[in-house]
């Protein structure tokens, strides 16, 4: 088992690691998980964790990452006398980690929570860094908190349960971390098709990059914003689809976001990056920027009509707080 020590929590990575989780100090434990979680995930969890706990199952699509799901969870916790000595375990993908972390950080002003990500995306992004939240009025991640889990257990056995789309949704965050922070990592990534990599090595490298960036700026006031490269337009694409009640995977939205945001970059390597991304995310299509303006205006980083972009200067170097007027997009 490998571990990464963050400022006030630890991340554990490896196979069969759930059995190491210590839960004895908690009087009540609630497992939050996806209603449609594959049975083998729940069965695996139950086999590894012997403690007693309540289970809350929710629909965990972006559409359900909303205040109604939060109210249901708060109600359950309240009616079942959860308190400061309780623990919430978030077992699932990014939506489960985001909602569970939000409920835990707000209920009784904060109860402990533990993240057990089961998708590649939540392993490399949502489960670490302390951001929790929900969508509001059709806009992504508008309400939220910063609170770290007590620990994160990344059991790589869960990767065997993933479908291609889920792989690709996580892989885009790995690609992003290399592009913004580590040119050697990009050289490694782009040397092979995604399926031919040692995924454990990629997860470990990518998590270390995110940890370093978050520790420079835990509350997202400055340098952490580089993690948003590709996401300003990528999130607008996700919101656009959300409002049309159509589905787009995170992988495709962010892959397109990266390509569209490269328009504002002066790196000479643009074509190399676009070629690699398109070799993996084959059927992605650009969305007309005019359809995205409404959503771009709601980005939390903006000032008035100025949209705040993180811009790739070169591979491994990204700059934050670049404001572009909405009329010039
Ligand atoms: N997912 C971007 C961040 O954690 O800041």
Cα distance from N-terminal residue to C-terminal residue, the chain: 46
Nearest CA to ligand 1 atom 2: 227
Q: What gap in Å lies between CA 48 and CA 256, rounded to an integer?
A: 39
Q: Which atom of ligand 1 is nearest to the CA of 213?
A: 5
Report the pLDDT value the prediction gives residue 300, as an integer from 0 to 100.
Answer: 77
Q: Which atom of ligand 1 is nearest to the CA of 130?
A: 4
Q: Measure 25 CA to ligand 1 centroid, in angstroms.
A: 30
Q: What gap in Å lies between CA 77 and CA 223, rounded to an integer?
A: 36
Report the pLDDT value the prediction gives residue 131, as an integer from 0 to 100.
Answer: 97
Nearest CA to ligand 1 atom 5: 227
Closest-CA residue to 174 (of 162, 186, 184): 186
- Tell me the H-state helices in 12-62: 39-48
3-state SS class at 145 = strand
User: Each residue of 32-54: pLDDT tens digit?
Assistant: 999 987 778 989 999 999 889 99
User: Each residue of 199-233: pLDDT tens digit?
Assistant: 999 999 999 999 999 999 999 999 999 999 999 99
Q: Which atom of ligand 1 is nearest to the CA of 210?
A: 4
Tokens representing 232 are 């300003």
Q: Domains, the chain, ranges and CATH? A: 2-161 (3.40.50.1970), 164-328 (1.20.1090.10)
The b-or-e profile of 88-117 (16+ CB within 10 A means b, else e) is bbbbbbbbbbbbbbbbbbbbeeebbbbbbb
User: Each residue of 231-269: pLDDT tens digit?
Assistant: 999 999 998 998 887 789 999 999 999 999 999 998 999
**Global pTM exceeds 0.85:** yes
Report the pLDDT value the prediction gives residue 40, as an integer from 0 to 100.
Answer: 85
**Residue 217 C-beta-side C-alpha neighbours within 13 Å:** 12
Nearest CA to ligand 1 atom 3: 227
In which residue ranges of the chain is pLDDT below 50?
none
Residue ranges lining ligand 1, Cβ < 6 Å: 125, 129, 131, 220, 224, 227
């Amino acid at each position: 088992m490998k571990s990464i020590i963050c400022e006030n929590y630890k991340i554990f990575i490896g196979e069969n690691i759930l059995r190491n989780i210590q839960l004895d100090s908690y009087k009540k434990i609630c497992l939050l998980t996806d209603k449609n979680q594959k049975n083998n995930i729940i069965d695996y969890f139950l086999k590894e964790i012997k403690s007693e706990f309540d289970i809350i199952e929710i629909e965990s699509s972006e559409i359900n990452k909303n205040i109604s799901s939060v109210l249901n969870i708060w109600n359950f916790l309240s009616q079942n006398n959860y308190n400061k000595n309780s623990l919430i375990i978030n077992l699932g993908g990014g939506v489960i980690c985001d909602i569970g972390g939000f409920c835990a950080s707000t209920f009784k002003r904060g109860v402990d929570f533990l993240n057990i990500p089961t998708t590649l995306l939540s392993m490399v992004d949502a489960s670490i860094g302390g951001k929790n939240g929900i969508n509001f009025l059709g806009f992504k991640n508008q309400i939220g908190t910063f609170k770290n889990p007590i620990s994160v257990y990344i059991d790589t056995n869960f990767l065997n349960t993933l479908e291609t789309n889920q792989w690709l949704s996580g892989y885009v965050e790995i690609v992003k971390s290399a592009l913004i922070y580590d040119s050697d990592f990009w050289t490694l990534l782009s040397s092979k098709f995604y399926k031919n990599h040692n995924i454990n090595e990629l997860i470990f490298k990518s998590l270390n990059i995110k940890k370093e960036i978050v520790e420079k700026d835990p509350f997202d006031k400055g340098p952490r914003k580089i993690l948003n490269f590709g996401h300003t337009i990528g999130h607008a694409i996700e919101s656009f689809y959300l409002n049309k009640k159509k589905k787009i995977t995170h992988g495709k939205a962010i892959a397109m976001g990266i390509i569209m945001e490269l328009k504002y970059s002066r790196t000479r390597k643009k074509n190399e990056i676009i070629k690699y991304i398109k070799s993996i995310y084959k059927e992605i299509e650009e969305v007309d920027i005019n359809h995205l303006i409404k959503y771009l205006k709601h980005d939390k980083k903006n000032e008035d009509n100025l949209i705040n972009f993180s811009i790739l200067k070169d591979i491994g170097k990204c700059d934050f707080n670049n404001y572009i007027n909405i009329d010039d997009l």
